Structure 1
Amino acid sequence: MPCNNSPTEEFHISEIPSLHGYVAIVTGGNSGIGYETTLQLAKRGARVYIASRSQDRVNKAISDMKHDAGPLDLHFLKLDLQDLQSVKITAAEFMSKEPRLDLLINNAGIMACPYELTKDGFEIQWQTCFLSHHALTLSLLPVLLAAVQASGNMNRVRVVNVASDGAFLMGPKSINYDDPNMTSLTGATAPWRRYGHCKQASIIAAKAITDRYRPSGIIAFSVHPGIIKSNLQSHDTSFLGTLSRTAMKIAPTSTPLDGARTSLFCATSPRVVSAAGLYLIPFGKVDPRANKWLNDDEAVEKLWQLASGQLKRHGFAIDELPKGRAPVAQRRDAAQTNQQLDARVRQLEQLLGNIVSQMPGERRAANSQASGDFASSEDALPRGTSPQNLTSVSPPTGELEVKPGRMVSSNTEMIYVSGSHWTAICSEVEKIREHLDRGEAATQVDSDQDQSQSHGPMLLEGVGQISSIETIMADIPPKDVVDRLVSRYFNSTEPSTTGAENFQYKQFWLDPKSTSLPWVAMLFGVMGMGAFLYLRVQDDLPGNMGNPKDLMELFQRRSTECLLLSKYSTAPGTYSLEALLFNIQGEFIRRRDAHLGVWILGGIAIRLAMRMGYHRDPDKHSRITPFQGEMRRRTWALVLQLDTLTSCQLGLPCLIQEHQCDARPPSNLLDDDFSPDSTQLPPPRPETQMTPVLYTITKAKLSSIFRTIFNQVSLGRTEAYDEIMALDQRLHSTQRAMPPKFQIANPEDSITVAPYVLIRRYNMELLFQKSRCMLHRHHMAKAYQDPTYNYSRTSCVEAAMALLTHQANISKEIQVGGRLYRDRWFVSSLERHDFSLASMIICLELSSRSNEPSEPLGPDDQRGFLKFSREAMVEALESSRRFWEALKVGSNEARQAFDMLSVMLDKVSTNPSVQDNPQLPMQLDMNDSLQTQISNNG
C-alpha cells in the first residue's frame, strides 16, 4: 500500500518516555550520533549495549557518559561489521546475556571510502552500512520476538536503520541487483555513488523488515540524521573528499544530539508508529522521496532476496516465510479497490479491537419516534405519568434482558469492558457498526498504540537494579529547593493524600538518615507532584533543577525504590499507604491515557488500606487518636474515589464492596481546627464554609451515588425501570444538595471565580452528567422501540449534550489567554473518558434517527418530546472532533475518538435519510439548552 503517514509535529528530546525495562543495542554508540543516541536511551532507564570493534573507545565513552549523567546501565558488545562471522558471534554473545531486545539502532557506518572488498567479498560500504546490519537484525530476531511476547505490546520493539539523503543525491536510481559491489564505477564520484547505493538499501530494508515482521510485533524505520560534523570522511584524501570536509566546516551543520533526534524519535515515540517502514528526516518528518522505492513491492522483495542470497552463502539461516504479506499482485488489486471511507472504518475497527460480538436485542430498529427537537425530560414521560410517580413505571415485559458488556479483542490481547463503557456503545452505532460487520477482506491497519501506554508502572514493571539507600538519599535536592517543591504542593488546591501537619517535614531535616523508607518515598512523591505543578503552569524549577519531566521521572523512580526496599506489600507500616497513593498519582500524571497498570496499582492500594483497617471507622478503635482517625478518613475517601473513577474509566467492576465498610466521611474542618494533640475533634463546620477538605467531602457524596449507579448498570442483567428511576431521583437530590460553590448555575456567572474553583465546578458537573448518561444509557436504547422509556432517552441525550458543551467551553478556556490556560493539565484521561461517552451517545442518537420514519406513526406517536435538532448534535460532534484532533498526537484514546467521530460525521453528512422534520422550529443553541436543563433540575 502507498506509504504517506507522517507525524505532524517536530520531535523533541524531552518527549522520550521512561525506558525502564528496555534493552537496546546501538552500533557505533561510542562517538558522534551514536554517542548521543546511547546517552539519551540510558538516561531514560534503558540498558544499552554499545556494539563496536574497540573496547577501549567504548570504555572511554561509557566513562564520559557516567561522568556527565551519573549511574547508567551501559555495556560493551564486540562487533566488526566488516566480518560477517563477527556478526554471528556478536548475536550469539548478546543472546547468551539477555533474554530480550527491545531496540536495535543500526547506526555505525563509513562514508565515501575508496573501492575495497571485505574478507567476505563485498564492497566495504555495502557490507558495513547495509549487509552486516541486516545480518545482525535477522540474527537477533529471537530476542526481538521475545521482547514482543514479554511486553505484550505490538509497537514497542523497533529497528532503526540510520541512512542518509545520499541515497537520493548520489546513489543510483535503483539497487544494482546484478552487481551490488558496483565494480564498474570509476572516477572521483564513485565512492559517493557507492555510499548512496548502500544507504538506499538500508532504506528499503527497513520497509522489508516491517512488511514481514510487523504482524509479529517488530517494526523498522530508516532515518536521515541531517548534516553532522563527524570524522566519517577523514580517510578520503581526494579533491572531492577535501572539498566535502571544507564544506562541512563552513556550512550550517547540526550537533550530534540533533543528529540523534530522529533516531530517538523512531525508537521511542508513540507518534511514529503509523510511519513504520518509512524514511524520516529531521526532526521526525516522513520524506516522501523514498516512496518511489518503498511503494514498489517488487523492488522491496527483490532487495530482500538479494540480501538473503548473500547471507545464505555465508551460513546465515534466513526466515523464508513472508509473514503477514499477501502476494504482490493481490495486494495491488486490493489497494485499487479500497475506498477511502472503508479504509478509515477498518482502521477504526482495529482501534476498537475488532469488536465482533453483539448482545441479543441490542441492535435497534429504532422505529418509534421521528426526528426533531427534544423537550425537557419531563415532556418525555408516557402519557398520564408525572415525575412524582416515575418509580411505578415498569417494563412492558416481565423478562429482564442480559447485558453482559463487550469482549474487545485485538491481535495482542482480549479485554472486557462493561456495557456502560463508551467503546461498547459504539457497537450500537449503526453508522459505524455497519462497516464493522462487513465480512470483506481488508488490509490490516495497526492501531498505532501509544507506546507510552505500554510502559507499565515502575512498581509493576520494575526498575532494574534497585539503588542503594545512599544513592537514593543523594538525589534529594538541597533543602531550599525541597522547601519550594513541598510548599508548591501543600499550598496548591489539589486534594492532598496527607495533611501538612501529618507530614513531619521538620523532623526529617533534623535527622534524615533515621527517617523511615515509606516516609522518604512519600517525600519523593510530594516533590514529584511539586515539580508537576511547576510544569503545569510552566514556571522554572527552583535551583536550576533542569527539565521538570526528567525530575518527575527521577523522583518517581526513587519513590518506587523506597517502597520496594520497605517491603510495603508484605510488611506495611506508617506512611506505607500514603506513599503508595503518591506513587499511583505520579504514575497517573505520567501518561495521557487510561492505563490498566494504574488500576492494578489501585487494587494493591485498596487491599493494603483494608489490611491496615482504613475501611473501618477509627472511633471504634481506642488505639487510634482523633487526629489519626480523621486523617485516615480523608485517605479512605480518596481511596474510594480512586477505585470508582479508575474502574469506570476502564469499564471494569469496582473492587470495594461498601457494605463491608463503615468508615465515616471526613469532617468539614480546617487543618488548624485540630492537631496531633487533640483529645477529640471539634464539631464540623457548616458545608457553606469553605475548607481544604470540603471539595473532597462533596465529591465523595456525589461519587457514592455514581458508584451505586455504576455498580447497578454493570450487572449482568438489565435493571427494572423503577430501580433506574429511584436512582435518578437520588442523583438529582444529591446534586441539588451540593454547596453552591461547586455548582455551575450559569457559565457566565463563573467569570469572576478563581480558576481552581471553576475547575472544581467542572469536575462536579462532569461527574453528575456522566452519572445521568450511565444510568439511562441502556434504557435509552429501549426507547427506540418502546416510548415507555422516553425519559431515559431525553435524559441521556441532555446529559451528553451538556458534557459536549462543557468540552467546547473547556477547550476554549485552556487556550492561550483563557481562564484555565495555566491549569490546562486538569483535562486528564478521566475527563476525556466522559467526553468520549457523551460523543458515543450522540452518535447512537443520530444513528437511530436515520432509521426513524419522517411521518407520525399514528395517534400514539409521542414525537412532541423531541428537543435537540440534528444540526445541533452534529455541530456538537464537530466541535468534539476538533478537541480530539488537537490531542490525538501521543494519545491513543484521543486518536480513537477522533477516528470514530470522523466516520460518524462523514456518514451523517452524506446520508440524506438523516434529516430533521423541516417544519419543526430551530433549536436554541447549546448553551441555552444547557441552562434550561440545569434550571429544570433545580
Structure 2
Amino acid sequence: MHPFATIKLPSRTVADALVTNYLRETESIYRILHIPTFTKKYEEIWNPDIGTASGANPDPAFLIQLKLVLAIGAVTYDDKFPLRTSAIHWIHEAQTWMAGPKYKARLNIHSIQTNLLLLLAQERVGVIAELPWVSAGTLLRTAMYMGLHRDPTHTAPGTTFEVEMHRRLWNTILELNLQTSLTSGGAPMISLADFDTAPPSNLDDEQLEVQDSVTKPDGEYTQSTIAIELRRAFPQRLAVVKFLNDRPSTGTYEETLRLDAELRTAYRALNQSICAYPTSHTRPSIESFDYETKALDFLMNRYTSALHVPYFSAALQGDGSGSSYAFSRKTVIDCALKVWRTAIPTNSPDERNPLSRLATCSAGFYPSVATHAAFLIAVELRSQLEEDDSLRPIPLRPYLFCVLEEAKAWSLRVIEAGETNVKGCLLINLVTAHVEGLMGGVGKGEMATLLIRAVEDVGEMCVPLLEELVAAQNREIEAGEMQPEAVPVTDILGDVAADWNFATPDSTFDFDADPMSWIINDDIGSEMPML
C-alpha cells in the first residue's frame, strides 16, 4: 500500500463541511477542479457502511488533492480555526509528495491542479515554503512549458473537457500570478502578448463531460461565471500592476488617472454584468452568490487602492501641495472603507460571512489587506486632527473612528484563532490611543504616558490568549496529534506578508521625538505596501 493511502481523514461529516467550504469560497472564484470528477472520487474513498475512510487503496495523488481541499476549507470551518493543526499536517504531506523526483511524466493537468491547490493552501494556512510570488512564477513557467498559454484550438484540439480544463487552469494561473505580483510588489513577468488562450467558456461542469456542448448565453449563470467576469477585467488590472511594479515605469500622475478611469470602467461593467443575472435556478444559492460578489468587491477595490496609495502621503502634506492629489486621498480612504466593511461587516463575527472568517483565520492576502485598510483609515484620522486649527477639537467622522474600535476587537479575534504575532494588535491599539489623545488635546508628555498604557493593555489582553494557544498545542503534542516542529507561525504583518514591506522594525517604537511620527512620514509612498 502506498504510504499516502493511509492518510488519516476527519469524520465524514467534517470532511463534507470542509469540501463544501472549498467549493463555495475558492472553486467558485479560482477554477481548478472538475467538480463531478472530484465528487465521484471523493465518494469512492468512503465506506458507506461505517462512514469512515475506506480501507481500499485509493489513488494517492487524489488523496493529496483532497487533503489540500480540506486544508483550504478548514480555514473557514468556524471562527477559531480549530483544524489548524490538521491543515498544517495535510499541507506538509502535500509538500512531501510534490518534493519527490520530478519527471516529464508529472507535467500534466493533475500536477498543475495540485500545485495550484498547494499554493492556495500554503498562503491561507500560513505554511510558507517560499514567497507566493516565487511559487506562482514557477507555476506560470511550468504551465507555459506545457503549452497552456496557447489556446488548444490553435494546437491540438481535444475533447470539450480537455479544452475547457486547459483554459480554466491557465485562467487561474494568470489570476494568482497577478494577485501575488501586486501583493509582493514584484513584476507580473507576463503581458497580454505572451498568450492567446481564451477565457473559460460559459459552461457548467456537467457539460464538460459531453462532447460539443453548447456554450450557455452570457446572461445565464454557470459555475464559471465569476472566473469569466474576472478575466474580462484582467487587462485593466494587469496594466495597473505593470505600472506599479515594472521597471522602468513612467509613474506619472496623469497615467495614474488614466488607469484609474479604465479600471473603474471595467469594475462598473463587471458589477452591471453580475447584477443582471436573473434570480432563478441559474444562479447559485443566496449565500454563495453573496460571498462571490463580496469577494469581487474586495479584489477590485484592492487594485484601485493600490493605484493611488503612492500619492497618499503627498496628499496629506500641509503646505498646500497635497491638494493636487486630493482625488487619490479620497479614493484610498473610500477603498479602505469598502474593503474593511466587506471583510469585517460588524463589530462581532458574522457566522454566515466566509469572507470575514478568511480575514480572521487565514494568513496572507485577506488579513493583510484588512489590516492595511484599518491603518490607512487611522492615518486619515490623524491627519484630519492635525490639519484642524480651531480652538476646539473637531468631531471626527464616526464611521471612520468606528473602524479603529472594530479593528481593536478584530485583532484579538485573530489571536484567538491562532495568530501568534501580536504586532497588528499592538499597532492598532497604539494608533487608536493616539487618535483619542489628539481628540482630547493632550500634550506630548501625557501622550507618551497614554501610549505606554496602551501597550500595557495589549500585554494584559494578549498574553493569556497566547498562553492558551501554547497550552492547547502542548495538549495536542501529548496526545500524539501534533509534532513539535509542526507548530505554525502565521504572521499578518511578518512572515506571510513580509513581501509587503510592512513588517514594523523595533526602531518604530522609539518615542523620543514625536511619539507617533511613525504613522505617516514623507516616505510613505515607498514604505507602505501597494494595497
For this structure pair, what is the TM-score category when the shorter chain's length is used for normalisation?
A: 0.5 to 0.7
Residue in structure 2 matched with residue 691 of structure 1 by the alignment: 222
Residue in structure 1 matched with residue 461 of structure 2 by the alignment: none
Shift of 1:574: 4.4
In the alignment, structure 1 residue 632 sits paired with structure 2 residue 166: yes
Question: Partner amino acid for 2:333?
Answer: V
Question: Partner amino acid for 1:903?
Answer: L
Shift of 1:650: 3.1
Residue in structure 2 matched with residue 780 of structure 1 by the alignment: 312
Q: Name the SS for the 1:736 alignment partner.
A: helix
**1-structure distance, mates of 2:308, 2:178:** 18
Where in structure 2 are the equivalents of 1:665-704 lying within 5 Å?
Answer: 665-675=199-209, 678=211, 680=212, 682-686=214-218, 688-704=219-235
Where in structure 2 are the equivalents of 1:400-419 lying within 5 Å?
Answer: none
- Among 707, 731, 734, which residue is 2:266 paired with? 734
**2-structure distance, mates of 1:635, 1:722:** 36
- Among 793, 798, 818, which residue is 2:334 paired with? 798
Residue in structure 1 matched with residue 387 of structure 2 by the alignment: 852
Larger radius of gyration: 1
**2-structure distance, mates of 1:773, 1:506:** 42
TM-aligned CA distance change 1:788 to 1:532, over 3 Å: closer
Shift of 1:481: 9.4
Residue in structure 2 matched with residue 836 of structure 1 by the alignment: 371
Question: Partner amino acid for 1:768?
Answer: M
Shift of 1:694: 0.9
Residue in structure 1 matched with residue 66 of structure 2 by the alignment: 526
**2-structure distance, mates of 1:804, 1:485:** 27
Shift of 1:612: 0.8
When normalised by structure 2's length, the TM-score is: 0.65
When normalised by structure 1's length, the TM-score is: 0.39
In the alignment, structure 1 residue 621 sits paired with structure 2 residue 161: no
Q: Name the SS for the 1:901 alignment partner.
A: helix
TM-aligned CA distance change 1:911 to 1:727, over 3 Å: same
Residue in structure 1 matched with residue 294 of structure 2 by the alignment: 762
Give unmatched runs, 5+ long, in structure 2.
46-53, 277-283, 443-531
Where in structure 2 are the equivalents of 1:810-889 lying within 5 Å?
Answer: 812=348, 814-815=349-350, 818-820=351-353, 824-825=357-358, 827=360, 828=362, 829-852=364-387, 854=389, 869=396, 871-888=398-415
Where in structure 2 are the equivalents of 1:352-751 lying within 5 Å?
Answer: 470-475=2-7, 488=20, 492=24, 494-495=26-27, 496-501=31-36, 503=38, 520-530=60-70, 533=73, 536-537=76-77, 549=84, 551-565=86-100, 567=102, 572-591=107-126, 596-675=130-209, 678=211, 680=212, 682-686=214-218, 688-715=219-246, 719-739=251-271
Q: Deviations over 1:486-532 (max 9, x none)?
A: 9757864531412035559569979x9xx99xx73343222442465
Q: Could you tell me whether the CA contact under 8 Å between 1:617 and 1:663 is conserved in 2? A: yes
Question: Partner amino acid for 2:187?
Answer: P
Q: Name the SS for the 2:270 alignment partner.
A: coil
Shift of 1:575: 1.5
**1-structure distance, mates of 2:347, 2:429:** 19
Q: Could you tell me whether the CA contact under 8 Å between 1:602 and 1:642 is conserved in 2? A: yes
Q: Could you tell me whether the CA contact under 8 Å between 2:137 and 2:177 is conserved in 1? A: yes
Shift of 1:471: 2.1
**2-structure distance, mates of 1:868, 1:768:** 31
Q: Deviations over 1:718-756 (max 9, x none)?
A: 622222122112222122212558569xxxxxxx97332
Q: Could you tell me whether the CA contact under 8 Å between 1:666 and 1:697 is conserved in 2? A: yes
**1-structure distance, mates of 2:323, 2:113:** 50
Residue in structure 2 matched with residue 904 of structure 1 by the alignment: 431
**2-structure distance, mates of 1:885, 1:567:** 43
Q: Deviations over 1:637-680 (max 9, x none)?
A: 111221122233333333434431222211111123332x52x4
Residue in structure 2 matched with residue 286 of structure 1 by the alignment: none
Q: Could you tell me whether the CA contact under 8 Å between 1:743 and 1:761 is conserved in 2? A: no
Q: Deviations over 1:117-158 (max 9, x none)?
A: xxxxxxxxxxxxxxxxxxxxxxxxxxxxxxxxxxxxxxxxxx
Shift of 1:621: 0.7
Q: Deviations over 1:684-731 (max 9, x none)?
A: 421x32211112222333454333212212356562222212211222
Shift of 1:913: 9.7
Q: Deviations over 1:827-868 (max 9, x none)?
A: 54322222222223223333444553638xxxxxxxxxxx99
Q: Deviations over 1:873-925 (max 9, x none)?
A: 333222223212321454366x333322223222222236989xxxxxxxxxx
Where in structure 2 are the equivalents of 1:328-367 lying within 5 Å?
Answer: none
Where in structure 2 are the equivalents of 1:166-181 lying within 5 Å?
Answer: none
TM-aligned CA distance change 1:606 to 1:697, over 3 Å: same
TM-aligned CA distance change 1:530 to 1:485, over 3 Å: farther
**1-structure distance, mates of 2:405, 2:41:** 53
Relative to structure 2, which stretch is displaced further, 821-830 or 693-702? Answer: 821-830
**2-structure distance, mates of 1:503, 1:602:** 23
Q: Which has the higher strand share?
A: 1
Q: Deviations over 1:764-809 (max 9, x none)?
A: 1112222221112223333341423222222222222222333441
**2-structure distance, mates of 1:581, 1:733:** 30
Question: Partner amino acid for 1:471?
Answer: P
Where in structure 2 are the equivalents of 1:186-265 lying within 5 Å?
Answer: none
Question: Partner amino acid for 2:150?
Answer: R
Q: Deviations over 1:12-57 (max 9, x none)?
A: xxxxxxxxxxxxxxxxxxxxxxxxxxxxxxxxxxxxxxxxxxxxxx
Q: Could you tell me whether the CA contact under 8 Å between 1:839 and 1:880 is conserved in 2? A: yes
Q: Could you tell me whether the CA contact under 8 Å between 2:119 and 2:136 is conserved in 1? A: yes
**1-structure distance, mates of 2:299, 2:292:** 11
**2-structure distance, mates of 1:498, 1:481:** 21
| Percent of aligned pairs with the same amino acid | 18
**2-structure distance, mates of 1:765, 1:753:** 18
**2-structure distance, mates of 1:851, 1:483:** 53
**2-structure distance, mates of 1:831, 1:561:** 27
**1-structure distance, mates of 2:244, 2:98:** 37
Give unmatched runs, 5+ long, in structure 1.
1-468, 540-546, 745-751, 856-866, 916-938
**1-structure distance, mates of 2:105, 2:195:** 23
TM-aligned CA distance change 1:654 to 1:898, over 3 Å: farther
Question: What count of residue pairs does the alignment treat as equivalent?
Answer: 411
**1-structure distance, mates of 2:4, 2:341:** 47
Q: Could you tell me whether the CA contact under 8 Å between 1:878 and 1:905 is conserved in 2? A: yes
**2-structure distance, mates of 1:488, 1:794:** 39
**2-structure distance, mates of 1:810, 1:525:** 35
Q: Which has the higher helix share?
A: 2
Q: Name the SS for the 1:666 alignment partner.
A: coil
Q: Could you tell me whether the CA contact under 8 Å between 1:881 and 1:897 is conserved in 2? A: no
Q: Deviations over 1:138-189 (max 9, x none)?
A: xxxxxxxxxxxxxxxxxxxxxxxxxxxxxxxxxxxxxxxxxxxxxxxxxxxx
Q: Name the SS for the 1:692 alignment partner.
A: coil
